[in-house]
Amino acid sequence: MKRIIIAIDGYSSTGKSTMAKQLAKALDYIYVDTGAMYRAITLFAIENDLIGPAGFKKSTLIGELPNLNLEFKYNASLGFSEMYLNGRHVEKEIRTLEVSQFVSQVSVVPEVREKMVALQKAMGKNKGLVMDGRDIGTVVFPEAELKIFMTASPDIRATRRYKELLDRGADISFEEVLENVQARDYIDSHRKFSPLKKAEDAVVLDNSKLNQDEQFKRALALAEEKI
């Protein structure tokens, strides 16, 4: 059986990672959550006072990039990999609303994107990969055998993210989450370098219309056509 690259892009909280994980499991492929990488750099910037309500020390962050070590380590009990920043497990810390509020400003920086894209391309060397993000089908793997673009209404997306954050014990309102989802999508789709956009050859999955299981079955069938 041929091993392929599956690129999944789309707006925030469209269920990209849930579907990418399901696909990777079904096909016995590696799953890579590129959002986690941008989130880990943002966490570093927040913790070192390089970004916050007072502003963004962009050139200091750029200077620190060579010292940042981002790694995915496989967690066998979960069945997928988790993010480590300079050797520290940061899965929980990178999913907070605070990180979500600053991540789009960090991911707009060309030097940050350059480093991330190089790491991501290297992960695709042996194929057998499902990668999700914003620019996977357009910039990281324009040659991917299967590209899926996921979308859903902002309300549906914010409801999903709100539930996730509440489950993790966050003290936030639905309006704050909706505002963040919309602000991130705006910045992500309007930035100069690698903006979020559908690759011409991507298949659109709109999960305002499909439930998670229907969506997964559609994606798996698309993958099976290619392998």
**Binding site listing:** 10-18
Stretch that binds ligand C5P, among 53-61, 77-85, 102-110, 141-149 (CB under 6 A): 102-110
Site membership for ligand C5P, residue 39 (CB under 6 A) = yes
Number of residues binding to ligand C5P, judged by CB under 6 A = 14
Is the Cβ–Cβ distance between 184 and 100 less than 8 Å? yes
Contact flag: residue 188 with ligand C5P (CB under 6 A): yes
Rg of the Cα atoms in the chain: 17
Interface with ligand C5P (CB under 6 A), residue from 19, 51, 61, 103: 103
For ligand C5P, which is the closer residue by CB, 12 or 81? 12
User: How far is Cα 160 from Cα 84, in angstroms, rounded to an integer?
Assistant: 25
- Sheet order of strands, 88-89 included: 70-75, 80-85, 88-89
Q: Is residue 44 a contact point for ligand C5P (CB under 6 A)?
A: no
Decide: is 135 part of the binding site for ligand C5P (CB under 6 A).
yes
The residues near 7 (Cβ < 8 Å, ≥ 6 apart) are 131, 132, 136, 137, 140, 141, 144, 146, 147, 148, 199, 202
Q: Give least dist CB 5 to ligand C5P, A.
A: 14
Note whether 12 binds ligand C5P by CB under 6 A.
yes
Using the rule CB under 6 A, which residue among 81, 107, 151, 180 binds ligand C5P? 107
Quote the CA–CA distance of 131 and 120 in Å, as a whole number.
9
Q: Which amino acid is at 29?
A: Y
H-helix or E-strand spanning residue 75: strand 70-75
Q: Does 147 bind ligand C5P (CB under 6 A)?
A: no
* Angle value at C-alpha 89, between 84 and 92, nearest 5 degrees: 110
The span of 46-54, 128-136, 167-175, 208-216 binding ligand C5P (CB under 6 A) equals: 128-136
Check binding of 35 to ligand C5P (CB under 6 A): yes
Binding site for ligand C5P (CB under 6 A): 12, 34-35, 38-39, 103-104, 107, 133-136, 184, 188
